[in-house]
Amino acid sequence: MAFGSKETVENVGKRGIGKNLEPGARKCKVLKVVVRKANYGKDRGDILYLDLNLESTPPSSDFVGFFIDKDNKELGTHTGQIGRVSTSSFGYDDNRKDKAGKFISKEDSIAQFLHLLCLEANGSMWVHENMGVHDTFEAFIEAFNKDLPIKDVFLNFVIGGSRSTDEKGFFKYFLSLATLSKGSRAAGLRNFCNDKNLDKLCPFDYKEFVYIKDGGGSSEVSSFGNEAAEPIAEVDDAPDFTSIEEDPFADDDAGASIAPEEDDEDPFAVD
């Protein structure tokens, strides 16, 4: 009898497409926005983060995503990869000033970001029309999710974030929009845009935009001032770093955000 079977090795080296979004340039739509709070102590106090629940375009014709509702499987599955992506690694606080020198609240900063998102997506003036309408900031965010003025609109996002290693040795990501350097911002580059503005989308660079929380690489990343992984030239060919796929929209109050340096500026500030 001959040794072995072709079935033993025919799929070696092949990997399935993960259900979670990973760092890279991705075309996605917004399913929901989430505001969470973190506290870095008396020096900064409460910081707000704005996260986007994103769903990508289908990565392949036979892709099967997470269940839309694991408790109601009749709703079916997501057609693309999903992930919760923070709009700023630094978060939003009350210390930013506008051009006139007036301090802008963290809530207003988030509203400004959502306004830019709507304008880029489809020109919606929803945020402008809803300022001063709702009793609280929380009610404003709830209304945004209810109306979702950019529903089913796909934008191009450049996603980075931080990478850590779990107890089994697999990589896990906390995703955020790529943190642009001052030079990139001065050149008019963006970390999200519509198809008409693709020339303004910053190129994805794994070394530059992914912060390695537990070391293990070179020290060439200036954006976060810490160690970086070796670059992955083509992110679509990168290995699937998620050992056990978990629903990225599950609430996690602890988060895994990147604490800013004292002199860092919010790269998403609106002048």
Domain that holds residue 45: 19-94+150-237
pLDDT value of residue 260: 36
For 2, what's the count of Cα atoms within 13 Å in the CB-facing half-sphere? 3
Question: How confident is the model over 80-124, as pLDDT tens digits?
Answer: 999 999 999 889 988 777 778 888 899 999 999 999 999 999 999
Whether 227 has a pLDDT exceeding 60, the answer reads no
Q: Is residue 108 part of a domain?
A: no
Q: Is residue 220 part of a domain?
A: yes
Q: Report the residue count for the chain.
A: 271
For 128, what's the count of Cα atoms within 13 Å in the CB-facing half-sphere? 8
Whether 61 has a pLDDT exceeding 50, the answer reads yes
Q: Is residue 247 part of a domain?
A: no
- pTM across the whole model: 0.76
Q: Is residue 115 part of a domain?
A: no
Mean pLDDT of 146-150: 97
% pLDDT > 90, the chain: 49
Q: Give the C-alpha separation, 62 to 145, whole Å.
A: 30
Q: Is residue 110 part of a domain?
A: no
Q: How many domains does the chain have?
A: 1
Mean pLDDT of 202-206: 94
Question: How confident is the model over 38-54, as pLDDT tens digits?
Answer: 877 666 678 999 999 99
Question: CB–CB of 81/18 below 8 Å?
Answer: yes
Label residue 234 by pLDDT band (50, 70, 90).
very low
Label residue 270 by pLDDT band (50, 70, 90).
very low
Label residue 231 by pLDDT band (50, 70, 90).
very low
Q: Is residue 44 part of a domain?
A: yes
Instruction: Give the three-state DSSP class for 232.
Output: coil
Question: How confident is the model over 152-191, as pLDDT tens digits?
Answer: 999 999 999 998 888 888 778 889 999 998 899 899 999 9
60 Cβ neighbours under 8 A, 6+ residues apart: 17
Please indicate whether residue 240 or residue 264 has the higher confidence score (pLDDT).
Answer: 264
The mean of the pLDDT values for the chain is 78
Q: Is residue 229 part of a domain?
A: yes
Q: Is residue 221 part of a domain?
A: yes
